[in-house]
Amino acid sequence: MNKIIVLLFILTGFTELEVKSDQIITRQGQTSFFSYTSVENIEAKNNQVLSIIDLSKHKIAVSMLMNAFVFKKSLMHEHFNESYIESDLYPKATFEGKIIDFDPLATGTQIKIIKGDLTIHGITKEVEIKTTIENNNGNYLLTGDFEATVKDFDIKIPPILAPNIAKTISITFRFEYQPYEK
C-alpha cells in the first residue's frame, strides 16, 4: 500500500514537472500593423501582446488589447478605437492555433506554418501564418508577418477616409518567450 502511494506521488511529481517545462510565455510580445496608401502611411505598434505556447501539444495562443496599439498621431488612435475596431465592444484580438510539424527540441531556426483562428472585431477567420522559430537553448523566438483584409473583419471605413486606409493591412509580430512557471 505504502509503495503504491509513493509510486503515485512520484508519478504525479513527474507529470507536474512536465507541465512546468512544457509551456512558454511572453507578456511583452510585439505586434505591428501597417497600412500603405498613396495618401498616407499608418503604422501602429503593440508591445504588450500575451502569448503562450504549449510545446508538447504544439499549440499557440495569442491575445492583445486593441487600445494598447500606439500610433504616431493621437487622432489615428482615436479613429481606430472608436470607429473601426470599436475597442469598447471588442477589446481584444486573439489567435489560437497549432504549429504544424513543429519540433520543439530542434535547436536553431525552423520555418513553420501556424494554422488557426484569428479573431478581430468579434469576427473569427481561419488563417495560415508562416513563422520563423528560433530555438536558442530553450529560449524561443517567433517572428513573422502576414496580411489581413479589412473587409474580412467587418471593419467599416467611411467613404471619405477610404483612400487613406489600405484594403489589406500587413501585420508583423515578434514574440520572445520565457519558460512559464506554474
Binding another protein (rule: CB under 8 A), the pick from 21, 47, 119, 143 is 47
Regarding 57 and contact with another protein (CB under 8 A), the answer is no
- Integer-rounded Cα radius of gyration of the chain: 20
Regarding 174 and contact with another protein (CB under 8 A), the answer is yes
**Segment lying near another protein (by CB under 8 A), choices 59-67, 125-133, 139-147, 152-160:** 59-67
What would the grid cell of residue 71 be?
A: 500610433
> Mask: binding to another protein, 93-132, rule CB under 8 A, as x and -?
----------------------------------------
Q: Supply the minimum distance, in Å, between the C-beta of residue 50 and another protein.
A: 4
Regarding 75 and contact with another protein (CB under 8 A), the answer is yes
Binding another protein (rule: CB under 8 A), the pick from 43, 54, 65, 86 is 65
Q: Supply the minimum distance, in Å, between the C-beta of residue 45 and another protein.
A: 9
DSSP assignment of the chain equals -HHHHHHHHHHHHHHHHHHHHHEEEEEEEEEEEEEE-SS-EEEEEEEEEEEEEETTTTEEEEEEEGGG-EESSHHHHHHIIIIIS-TTT--EEEEEEEETT--TT--EEEEEEEEEEEEETTEEEEEEEEEEEEEETTEEEEEEEEEEETGGGT----GGGGGGS-SEEEEEEEEE-EE---
Regarding 50 and contact with another protein (CB under 8 A), the answer is yes
Give the interface size with another protein as a residue count (CB under 8 A).
Answer: 23
Q: Which residues bind another protein (CB under 8 A)?
A: 25, 27-28, 30, 47-48, 50, 63-65, 67-68, 70, 72-75, 77, 91-92, 174, 176, 181
